[in-house]
C-alpha cells in the first residue's frame, strides 16, 4: 500500500514528468504506444498484449489508470488476477513484462481514495486479495520482468519485487513508504525486499520510508539494470524487451524448471536445494526439447524448441 501524496511529492522532486509516450521509435522494437500487439481497448485499466513476429512469446501487461497514477484499485487487482491466472497455464508464453502505459508513473500503490471509503473489514479483504495476486505473479512459471519507467511506491514497488528481474530508468523513484501512513507493506514488501537487498538495508528503507532513484536502486541491488530515460519515456521497457528477447531462444521446459529450482532452493538449506535441483533436472531428461538441443548442437544449427 502506498500514498498518492507521497507519489506527488516524489514527482515534485524529479522536477518534471516524463514526456508522453509515443509510437514508433527504435527499429524492430514494439513501441510503448498502442501500435503493437493485440487485445487492448482504450478503457481497459490493464492492457494485455501478446507480441508478434520476432517478439512472439513475450506478453506485456500494461497498467493504464492514468487518472489515478496506476493506483491499485479493487477492479485493477481483479483484472491483474484474471490475467495472471490465464498466463500461468498458457504454454505459448515465454516471458512476461510488467510495465506502465502512463508517462512518469509505474504504480503509486494502493488507491487511497477508494480505500478511504472502505470499512475496516473491507480493507483487510482487499489487502489479502492484492497480496494473493502479487504472489500469483511471483509464482508464474516463466521469467517476469518489471520495467520501471516512473515512480513505484508502496504496492507498486511490491509488484515489481514480485517479478524475477527489475529494470528502471535512472529518473525513476522507488520506495516502500507505508510507515508514513502508520501501516507496513502488506503485499510482500517486508519479505521480498530483504531477500533482494539484505535485511539491514531493507529495514533502513522501510523504517525511513525513503525513496531512491534508479541509480541508487541499482547500487543497492534493488534493480538489475538502470538506463537513461529517452524522449519517449519508455527506456526501461525497451531494455526489458531486449532482455526478454535473450530468453526466447532457450528451451521452454528448462526455463520453467530453472525458475522453480531457484525459487524453491533459495528458501531451504544447500543440501535440500541441491536435491531440488536434481529433481528439477530430472524433468528435462525425457523431453523432446533436450534431444532437439543435442541434434542442433551436432548439426551446428539453431534449435527449434517446442516446449515438449
Which residues are identified as catalytic?
Answer: 110, 155, 158, 178
* 136 vs 140: CA distance, rounded Å: 6
Calpha distance 161→32 (Å, rounded): 22
Q: Quick check: helix, strand or coil at residue 295?
A: helix
Does residue 50 contact residue 37 with C-beta atoms inside 8 Å? Answer: yes
State the alpha helices, DSSP H only, in the chain: 4-14, 74-87, 112-115, 120-138, 155-161, 189-197, 199-208, 214-219, 235-247, 252-265, 270-284, 288-299
Burial class of residue 249 (count of CB atoms within 10 Å of its CB; 0-12, 13-18, 19+): exposed
Which is it for strands 173-175 and 212-213: parallel, antiparallel or unpaired? antiparallel
Please give the Cα distance from 248 to 99 (Å, whole number): 19
Amino acid at each position: 500500500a502506498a500514498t498518492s501524496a507521497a507519489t506527488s511529492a516524489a514527482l515534485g522532486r524529479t522536477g518534471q514528468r516524463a514526456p508522453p509516450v509515443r509510437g514508433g521509435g527504435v527499429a524492430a522494437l514494439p513501441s510503448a504506444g498502442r501500435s503493437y500487439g493485440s487485445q487492448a481497448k482504450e478503457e481497459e485499466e490493464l492492457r494485455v498484449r501478446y507480441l508478434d513476429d520476432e517478439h512472439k512469446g513475450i506478453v506485456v501487461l500494461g497498467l493504464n489508470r492514468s487518472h489515478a497514477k496506476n493506483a491499485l484499485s479493487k477492479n485493477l487487482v481483479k483484472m491483474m488476477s484474471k490475467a495472471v491466472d490465464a498466463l500461468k497455464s498458457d504454454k505459448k508464453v515465454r516471458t512476461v513484462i510488467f510495465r506502465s502505459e502512463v508517462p512518469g508513473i509505474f504504480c503509486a500503490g494502493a488507491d487511497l481514495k477508494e480505500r478511504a471509503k472502505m470499512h475496516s473489514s473491507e480493507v483487510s479483504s482487499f489487502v489479502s486479495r492484492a497480496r494473493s495476486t502479487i504472489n500469483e505473479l511471483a509464482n508464474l512459471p516463466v521469467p517476469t520482468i518489471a520495467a520501471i519507467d516512473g515512480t513505484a511506491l508502496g504496492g507498486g514497488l511490491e509488484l515489481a519485487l514480485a517479478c524475477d528481474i527489475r529494470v528502471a530508468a535512472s529518473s525513476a523513484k522507488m520506495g516502500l513508504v507505508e510507515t508514513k501512513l502508520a501501516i507496513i507493506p502488506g503485499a510482500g514488501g517486508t519479505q521480498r525486499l530483504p531477500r533482494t537487498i539484505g535485511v539491514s538495508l531493507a529495514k533502513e528503507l522501510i523504517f525511513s520510508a525513503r525513496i531512491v532513484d534508479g541509480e541508487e536502486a541499482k547500487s543497492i541491488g534493488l534493480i538489475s539494470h538502470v538506463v537513461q530515460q529517452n524522449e519517449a519515456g519508455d527506456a526501461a521497457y525497451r531494455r526489458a524487451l531486449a532482455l526478454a528477447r535473450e530468453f526466447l531462444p532457450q528451451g521452454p521446459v528448462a526455463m520453467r524448471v530453472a525458475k522453480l529450482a531457484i525459487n524453491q532452493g533459495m528458501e531451504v538449506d544447500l543440501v535440500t536445494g541441491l536435491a531440488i535441483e536434481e529433481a528439477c533436472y530430472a524433468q528435462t531428461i525425457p523431453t523432446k526439447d533436450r534431444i532437439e538441443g543435442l541434434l542442433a548442437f551436432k548439426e551446428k544449427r539453431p534449435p527449434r524448441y517446442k516446449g515438449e
